[in-house]
Amino acid sequence: MDLKNQINKDKLPQHIAIIMDGNGRWAKKQGLIRTKGHEQGENSVRETVEICREIGIKNLTLFAFSTENWNRPKYEVNTLMRLLVKSLKKEIESFQKNDIRLNAIGNLDLLPEKPKKELLEAIKDTKDNKHMTLTVALSYGSREEIVSAVRKIVEKTTSGELNGSKITEQTIDEHLYTSDIPDVDLLIRTSGEERISNFLLWQIAYAELYFTEVLWPDFTKEDLLKAVINYQNRERRFGKTSEQIN
Ligand code: FPP
């Protein structure tokens, strides 16, 4: 049966986050240089955005570049930045047509001038789109995000804008880069690695984790559908008992 028909529209994850891993290994397997894997990975990004939009996922977050990735060889970092600019330019029309809002999380100040400018422009141009929010995590590290939230909160308590004893989980939520998107329901990591790698640590508190051996450049619409179907067959208890849930 068509995998899409197996999706239960009433039980869709509100937010899917993906650690797109395995580009380098994919390239090596083909006898190519690592950056070819990133270029191929761009197609999987497009396929994934399309299928998520099609089945009605409201929030999709992609881990495109971590704070640690700045330490990769300069050539690879430059290629990733170039790819980002190129794909933003290429996709903006389809974001508008498909009512997709582009969003970014991470320390964007570290991005080189050109990618940063293109990115901020694309974010501005799509800000009123409502069907889906596509968030790219760029120069992103979750601990850094939490530190930055703590700093903002401390500033507010020092200035008297916020009462320290009134700090709740919601206060933390509101000061993270993800303040305007819901918590992650389904976290996918490709390439067989089973790690979180400093991605959305706070936001995945109750997420279902899905690991697949598929390398990111080989990841297709069917693979995304399989992950969603797998998620829908799980029982999410949020700390309660099975009887309480049913
Ligand atoms: C991890 O594979 C992947 C990345 C560090 C970059 C992901 C970027 C893209 C897919 C490019 C397009 C992105 C956008 C948002 C347009 P790896 O290099 O760590 O692979 P390895 O573990 O096999 O070496």
Q: Within 10 Å of residue 140's Cβ, how many Cβ atoms?
A: 25
Residue 216 resides in a domain: yes
User: What CATH number does the domain containing 202 carry?
Assistant: 3.40.1180.10
Residue 217 resides in a domain: yes
Residue 57 in contact with ligand 1 by CB distance below 6 A:
no
- Count of domains forming the chain: 1
Residue 156 resides in a domain: no
- Give the residue numbers spanning the domain of 64: 12-141+184-234
pLDDT tens-digit map of 129-151: 999 999 999 999 999 999 999 99
Cβ pair 105, 175 in contact under 8 A = no
Q: What is the pTM of this model?
A: 0.95
> Angle, nearest 10°, between helix axes 74-97 and 113-125?
20
Residue 56 resides in a domain: yes
Residue 244 resides in a domain: no
Residue 137 in contact with ligand 1 by CB distance below 6 A:
no
Q: What are the backbone angles phi and psi of residue 18, rounded to the nearest 5°?
A: -130, 130
3-state secondary structure (DSSP) of residue 70:
helix
pLDDT tens-digit map of 183-225: 999 999 999 999 999 999 999 999 999 999 999 999 999 999 9
Q: Say which residue the tokens 């397997």 belong to.
A: 29
The whole-chain average pLDDT of the chain stands at 96
3-state secondary structure (DSSP) of residue 242:
helix
Which residue among 18, 19, 20 has the greatest number of ligand 1 atoms within 8 angstroms of its CB, and so is best to mutate?
20
**12/38 Cα distance (integer angstroms):** 29
Q: Is 99 among the residues known to form the active site?
A: no
pLDDT tens-digit map of 73-86: 999 999 999 999 88
pLDDT tens-digit map of 87-137: 988 999 999 999 999 999 999 999 999 999 999 999 999 999 999 999 999
